[in-house]
Amino acid sequence: MLLDKIQELLNEVSTLTAKSADDVEQLRLKYLSKKGEINALMGEFRNVAADQKKAVGMKINELKQLTQNKINDLKEQLETSEAQSDDIDLTRTAYPISLGTRHPLTLVKNEIIDIFARMGFTLYQGPEIDDDQHVFTMLNFAADHPARDMQDTFFVERSNTMDVTKNVLLRSHTSNDEAHYMSTHEPPIRVLCPGRVYRNEAISAVHTVSSIR
């Protein structure tokens, strides 16, 4: 009976699956093309008794609508899956990503800052790119001091004149912070000035300590 065949197709279509776009297209051809299952049912529909045509016609329309919706859903699921897979960075570290810890030098620096803060010192951090005035002149460095030489200090801009105070450089110590701080604060002064410094020389313990006054 035609109604039984339609019901079998309804059950079959409701469980359709697809792994690729080609699979979806094959399903569309099988059920919805001119030579497909549903179109074949329409050929048999002409032979249905008049008193059954309404019931059979409604079932065929239900099957056609279900099939169309099912194929559209399968197509959408595949497109969504492909879009999500494109967002995966295969070069990144796999989950879960464990959090790291602070660098030992950072831990020691923070501990030193905490100790001096409890002793009443003020934390001050000035510019890493500064002028000769604050880095050398205000600290009584002589004009011919070796620290002012190009081979010892990283200059950003150097004056062509004899006026060394116009030179701009990467600070070679944090004492320039003290020069800035003392220019704007009245004594007594207790200040701690940790920070990066830049020198063209071998690293040693002497030159890695913070400036404390």
Q: What is the pLDDT of residue 163?
A: 67
Residue pair 126/180 in contact by the 8 Å Cβ criterion: yes
- 10-residue mean pLDDT profile of the chain (213 residues): values are 84 89 89 86 80 84 90 87 66 74 90 92 92 91 82 81 77 92 92 89 62 53
Last-in-domain residue among 31, 52, 86? 86
Q: What is the pLDDT of residue 134?
A: 92
11 to 63, 70, 75, 92, 117: CA distances (angstroms): 10, 12, 20, 44, 78
CATH of the domain at 147: 3.30.930.10
Q: Is 146 exposed, middle or buried (0-12, 13-18, 19+ CB in 10 A)?
A: exposed
Residues 77 and 121 in one domain: no
Within a domain: 53: yes
Q: What is the pLDDT of residue 3?
A: 82
Within a domain: 95: no
Q: What is the pLDDT of residue 179?
A: 93
Name the residue among 173, 155, 172, 175 with its Cα closest to residue 164: 155
Residues 161 and 117 in one domain: yes
Q: What is the pLDDT of residue 115?
A: 94
Within a domain: 97: no
Residues 110 and 78 in one domain: no
Residues 80 and 121 in one domain: no
**Domain extent at residue 176:** 104-212
Q: What is the pLDDT of residue 116?
A: 93
Give alpha helix (H) positions in the chain: 2-14, 21-32, 37-45, 53-86, 104-118, 132-135, 175-184
Residue pair 53/3 in contact by the 8 Å Cβ criterion: no
Residues 44 and 117 in one domain: no
Integer-rounded Cα Rg, in Å, for the chain is 41
Residues 145 and 52 in one domain: no
Number of domains in the chain: 2
